[in-house]
Amino acid sequence: MRYGGGQGRFKAAVLIAVAVAMAAPVWASRSGTRAAAVLAPKAASANLKSLRHVVLSGQTLTAILQSNGLRRREVAQWDAAMQRAAGPGTARVLLAPDHVLTLQFDKPGRLVTLNYEVDDHNRVIVERDGKQLRSRLEPLSVKVTVVGAQGIVEKNFHLAALSAGIPDRVISQMADILGWEFDFRSVRRGDRFRVVYERRVTSDGRVLSPGKVLAAEIRTPRRTTQAFYYDDGVEGTYVDVNGRVLAQSFLRYPVEFTRISSVYSHKRFHPILHYARAHHGVDFAAPPGTPVRAAGDGVVEWAGRNGDYGNHVAIKHGDGWVTTYSHLRGVARGLHPGMAVRQGQVIGWVGQTGLATGPHLHFALFRNGAYLNPLTASVSFKHAVRDPHRFQLAKADLLQHLANVPRAANAAPSEPIVLAALPPARRQNVVSLTQ
């Protein structure tokens, strides 16, 4: 069946946020509008010149190395060495926008070291050793601090969170975590929110994408909704204030969107066809190229072109549940029917293929072939944590962190701040987030 919108953790039991680094990290400047290559503050040796490149969109290793005087044959050798470091059977290492490539040259101008940060966790190092090139993959040295931020809604939650300095990835996590307990469409001016999350910084002061949200809260005149990250020694998960696991069968918001451009409806005026037709899904407006994630674990049933839905993915989740994702700019490489996917895995990117007036994701949800509203359907279940007493201790620490986030006296939000460490732990198995 072709499903389509209108046609068819830490190890050991730990209290994760008890000890926090006191020193704020150094922020590195990155800009796609300035020159990509800048002299590093200090060369590793007086005889070496070090160049640090912040990769721009569309740049390749070949272009960067050739612009620094390497011939085509040399470029091929360095590229081959970089691929060897990644190991056999892995995807080819390609330069990505905003990632850092550092080159070191000796006095005669020969390239002697290449250092590329593959992702937020690893880097490839290639070094000249006589006539040979030796390469290795090693983990990045990362410092983790716990920061908190708060804000007051003026127009909408997303804009308020951005103005509070909260990264997009954290905003998306908040929507995922709180989304099953709180309907973000009900947010009104004056509603308040707070979040505690991990800030990750490399040893040279470059800010990486943030880590986990540790605690999140949204407060309205009607209710307060809170969620906490808790690790019981077996797995880490999010729980509500009563210690019930927020076992998210599906992500209600599978894309970082700017607005909902069209809601679920049995009858709406179609902007292209100019007549009323059912809209059995939700349209999330987002910039072209925004990653689209699988709403839950499952098996791909469709991945490719599908008529008016353009590039389209359908995923079966078991027990009759199916989600679909339409108008994608492209489908993730290698995605094919029968392939297993995990919740949160990128399956494509927002586009405007098929019958669409602008870039957006059309997200639809089915149960046994019947359409359901993704924003209101009840598709989650809860169970209590294994050790309620241990959870209460962990929750107390996270509540203290939330309380340490200063509240704004007016609508002006605070910038994220590094939270002071809590008093020395009174219990065992407390782990510092910063070594």
Q: Under DSSP, is residue 325 helix (H, G, I), strand (E, B) or coil?
A: strand
Q: What is the pLDDT of residue 263?
A: 57
> Which part of the chain is CATH 2.70.70.10?
259-372
Residues of the chain within CATH 3.10.450.350 domain(s) are 15-20+142-248+382-432, 37-139
Confidence of residue 361 (pLDDT cuts 50, 70, 90): very high
At 404, list the tokens: 């340490």
Contact 250, 364 (CB under 8 A): no
Of 178, 257, 244, whose CA–CA distance to 217 is shortest? 178
Residue 194: the pLDDT is: 93
Residue bearing the bigger pLDDT, 405 or 106 = 106
- pLDDT grade for 74, boundaries at 50, 70 and 90: very high
Cβ atoms 251, 344 nearer than 8 A: yes
Average pLDDT, the chain: 77
Torsion angle of the four alpha carbons 287, 161, 54, 121, in this order, in degrees rounded to the nearest 10: -100
Q: pLDDT at position 191, please?
A: 93
CA angle 292, 296, 300 (to 5 degrees): 75
What are the structure tokens assigned to 248, written together?
């998210």
The winner for highest mean pLDDT among 153-162, 232-241, 251-260, 417-426 is: 153-162
For residues 266-277, give the mean pLDDT.
Answer: 43
Instruction: Give the Cα separation of 229 and 400 in Å (integer).
Output: 14
User: What is d(CA 275, CA 78) in angstroms, rounded to the nearest whole number?
Assistant: 58
> What's residue 39's pLDDT?
39
Which tokens belong to 277?
A: 């037709």
The answer to whether residue 58 scores a pLDDT higher than 60 is yes
Mean pLDDT confidence for 407-420:
55
| Residue 44: band (very low, low, confident or very high) from pLDDT cuts 50, 70, 90 | very low
Structure tokens at 297: 């674990």
pLDDT at 274 over 60: no
CA-angle at 247, arms to 370 and 292, nearest 5°: 65
| Spatial separation of the C-alpha atoms in residues 355 and 362, rounded to whole Å | 11
Lowest mean pLDDT among 63-67, 275-279, 308-312: 275-279
* Secondary structure (3-state) at 183: coil
Gap between the Cα atoms of 168 and 166, Å rounded = 7
Residue 274 CB partners (closer than 8 Å, separation 6+) = none
Share of the chain above pLDDT 90, in %: 31
pLDDT at 352: 93
pLDDT bucket at 213, cuts 50 / 70 / 90: very high
Name the nearest CA neighbour of 392 among 246, 241, 245: 241
Nearest to 8 by CA among 260, 302, 251: 302
3-state helix, strand, coil in the chain (%, to 5): 15, 40, 50
Most confident of 24-33, 250-259, 312-321, 324-333: 324-333
Read off the pLDDT of residues 116-152 as tens digits, 9 standing for 90 and up. 988 878 889 999 998 899 999 988 888 888 999 999 9
| pLDDT band with cut points at 50, 70 and 90 for residue 221 | very high
Q: For position 404, what pLDDT does the model report?
A: 84
pLDDT value of residue 110: 92
CATH fourth-level superfamily of 259-372: Glucose Permease (Domain IIA) (2.70.70.10)
DSSP state of 241: T
CATH number belonging to domain 15-20+142-248+382-432: 3.10.450.350
* Pairing state between β 15-19 and 430-432: parallel
* Residue 155 pLDDT greater than 80, yes or no: yes
pLDDT for res 72: 93
291-293 and 111-117: which strand pairing?
unpaired
Q: Which residue has the higher pLDDT, 275 or 288?
A: 288
pLDDT at 55 over 90: no
Mean pLDDT of 198-226: 88
Q: What is the pLDDT of residue 56?
A: 85
Identify the pLDDT of residue 418: 66
Cα angle 242-247-404, degrees, rounded to a multiple of 5: 50
Q: Distance between CA 11 and CA 388 in Å, rounded? A: 18
Give me the pLDDT at residue 270, please.
39
Burial class (CB in 10 A: 0-12, 13-18, 19+), 193: buried
Query: Which segment, 77-81, 119-123, 185-189, 415-419, is predicted with the most confidence on average?
Result: 77-81
For residues 169-189, give the mean pLDDT.
85
| CATH no., domain 37-139 | 3.10.450.350
Average pLDDT over residues 242-257: 76
Q: How confident is the model at residue 412 (pLDDT cuts 50, 70, 90)?
A: very low
pTM of this prediction exceeds 0.85: no
Of the candidate ranges 106-110, 147-151, 383-387, the one whose mean pLDDT is the lowest: 383-387
| Distance (Å, whole) CA 343 – CA 296 | 4
Residue 218 pLDDT greater than 70, yes or no: yes
State whether residue 306 is helix, strand or coil: coil
Environment class of 273 (CB within 10 Å of its CB; exposed 0-12, middle 13-18, buried 19+): exposed
Give residue 279's pLDDT: 55
3-class DSSP state of 47: coil
How does DSSP classify residue 179?
A: T
Q: Which of 78, 83, 85 is nearest to 132 (CA)?
A: 78
